[in-house]
């Protein structure tokens, strides 16, 4: 069995996404990175392919596919344009999948068809100017008013898809985490809200420019200034945010690892091609031992990444928690390996690797974000160490 294509359906999905990516994503990747421009219409068009709601239930317009399918799409997109793939991940994984598995029936029936079709573009807002990994340190608050509505105040930072254009048009709908008080034991109570464009007090503070990488996705600061949200837009009960986070974080980290795999694959492809075409001292540079080390080690890392990504994907059940050891482990390993392989490709290609026209420079820049977003390397190291303390038998199973 091919671990990355465990069924004919998975193989057909890969072929379809790869062909579509070559035709539609590849031609625009260079220009959209160069001008820090998000291809909104291209993302919307993925709704026609059934990919925007890839893991959502079919009854709401989704495709109802599994974690392996999610990994395949993110790998294929990232082999061409990781910035665009990140915008796709923010919409399909951070918003759509979250809603599909945690929302009420009313919320799902009203919103999922719109985000699965591409009519609406979604985002998830957790990080703040002064808080990221420390989720319980978030300062955004939500207070329920006498009429049942909620009033949200705070700012969210680094939000992918937070704005849809350079004019500050906000995401159509955002999955927002906010404090709603403390529980009976004095612990911070985090709750989840669906904030929709047009709701009073919801706006874009700024689009964030001059990012090192992932420039083809829009990153924004969102402002909630006495933002009024209807009572029916709270997800679940007050204080349930951590439950929502746990299962969805595992899928998010898997798909970020799949993005790293796509970056590594393309980088390896480019360096291998260049090493054959380029000659020095009357021989192909692939005959030099130094070049062979870069190519050989990159191949081994890439194959290890591929095996780990799809082994984790095949074991992960969407909508449940319990795979944190490997969802953290696979992201910890692959994101660093992707950056190393992109760096090796730049070294093999010399000056050509250092300019944007030859792709690997962009892939190298994009790879860095994967070591930060969706959980830092340090948070993965902490989680793995804690989990192995609780379950040391995982090493020998």
- How far apart are alpha carbons 141 and 208 in whole angstroms? 23
Tokens for 392, please give them. 């040391």
pLDDT for position 337: 98
Name the residue among 322, 309, 307 with its Cα closest to residue 249: 322
Find the range with the poorest average confidence among 76-85, 166-175, 182-191, 360-369. Answer: 182-191
pLDDT for position 131: 77
CATH superfamily, domain 123-240, is Butyryl-CoA Dehydrogenase, subunit A, domain 2 (2.40.110.10)
Q: Tens digit of pLDDT for each residue in 202-236?
A: 999 999 999 999 999 999 999 999 999 999 999 99
- The pLDDT confidence band at residue 358, using thresholds 50, 70 and 90, is confident
pLDDT for position 316: 96
The 10 Å Cβ neighbour count of residue 102 is 21
CATH code, 8-121: 1.10.540.10
pLDDT for position 247: 82
pLDDT for position 243: 87
Q: Which of 75, 76, 128, 252 is catalytic?
A: 252
Coil vs helix vs strand at 165: coil
Give 239-289 as a 3 state SS string.
Answer: CCHHHHHHHHHHHHHHHHHHHHHHHHHHHHHHHHHHHHHCEECCEEHHHCH
Q: Give φ, ψ of 192 to 5 degrees.
A: -115, 135
- How far apart are alpha carbons 34 and 44 in whole angstroms? 21
Q: Tens digit of pLDDT for each residue in 132-165?
A: 677 767 889 999 999 999 999 999 999 999 999 9
Is 26 an annotated catalytic residue? Answer: no
Q: Tens digit of pLDDT for each residue in 10-49?
A: 999 999 999 999 999 999 999 999 999 999 999 999 999 9
- How far apart are alpha carbons 138 and 128 in whole angstroms? 7
Between 262 and 285, residue with greater pLDDT? 262
Name the residue among 289, 256, 251 with its Cα closest to residue 54: 251
Percent of the chain with pLDDT over 70: 99
CATH superfamily, domain 242-391, is Butyryl-CoA Dehydrogenase, subunit A, domain 3 (1.20.140.10)
**DSSP strand pairing (173-182 vs 122-125):** parallel
- Does residue 371 contact residue 335 with C-beta atoms inside 8 Å? yes
Domain ranges of the chain: 8-121, 123-240, 242-391
- Does residue 140 contact residue 128 with C-beta atoms inside 8 Å? yes
């Amino acid at each position: 069995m091919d671990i990355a294509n465990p069924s004919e359906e998975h193989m057909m999905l890969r072929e379809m996404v790869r062909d579509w990516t070559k035709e539609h994503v590849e031609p625009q990747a260079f220009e959209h990175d160069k001008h820090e421009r998000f291809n909104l219409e291209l993302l919307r068009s993925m709704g026609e392919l059934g990919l925007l709601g890839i893991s959502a239930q079919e009854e709401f317009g989704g495709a109802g596919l599994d974690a392996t399918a999610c990994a395949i799409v993110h790998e294929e997109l990232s082999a061409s344009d990781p910035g665009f793939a990140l915008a796709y991940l923010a919409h399909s994984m951070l918003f759509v999948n979250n809603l599909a598995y945690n929302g009420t029936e009313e919320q799902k029936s009203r919103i999922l068809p719109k985000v699965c079709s591409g009519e609406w573009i979604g985002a998830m807002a957790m990080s703040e100017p002064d808080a990221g990994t420390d989720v319980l340190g978030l300062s955004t608050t939500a207070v329920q008013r006498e009429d049942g509505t909620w009033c949200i105040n705070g700012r969210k930072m680094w939000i992918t898809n937070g704005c849809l254009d350079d004019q500050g048009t906000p995401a159509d709908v955002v999955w927002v985490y906010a404090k709603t008080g403390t529980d009976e034991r004095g612990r911070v109570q985090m709750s989840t809200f669906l904030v929709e464009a047009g709701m009073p007090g919801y706006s874009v503070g700024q689009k964030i420019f001059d990012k090192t990488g992932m420039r083809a996705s829009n990153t924004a600061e969102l402002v909630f200034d006495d933002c009024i949200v209807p009572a029916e837009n709270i997800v679940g009960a007050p204080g349930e945010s951590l439950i929502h986070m746990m299962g969805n974080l595992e899928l998010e980290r898997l798909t970020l690892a799949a993005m790293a795999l796509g970056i590594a694959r393309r980088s390896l492809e480019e360096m291998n091609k260049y090493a054959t075409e380029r000659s020095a001292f009357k021989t192909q540079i692939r005959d030099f031992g130094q070049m062979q080390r870069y190519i050989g080690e990159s191949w081994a890392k890439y194959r290890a990444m591929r095996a780990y990504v799809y082994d984790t994907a095949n074991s992960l059940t969407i909508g449940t928690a319990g795979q944190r050891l490997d969802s953290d482990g696979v992201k910890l390993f692959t994101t660093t390996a992707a950056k190393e392989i992109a760096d090796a490709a730049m070294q093999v290609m010399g000056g050509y690797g250092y300019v944007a026209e030859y792709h690997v420079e962009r892939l190298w820049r994009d790879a860095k974000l994967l070591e930060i977003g969706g959980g830092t390397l340090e948070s993965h190291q902490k989680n793995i160490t804690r989990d192995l303390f609780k379950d040391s038998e995982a090493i020998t199973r």
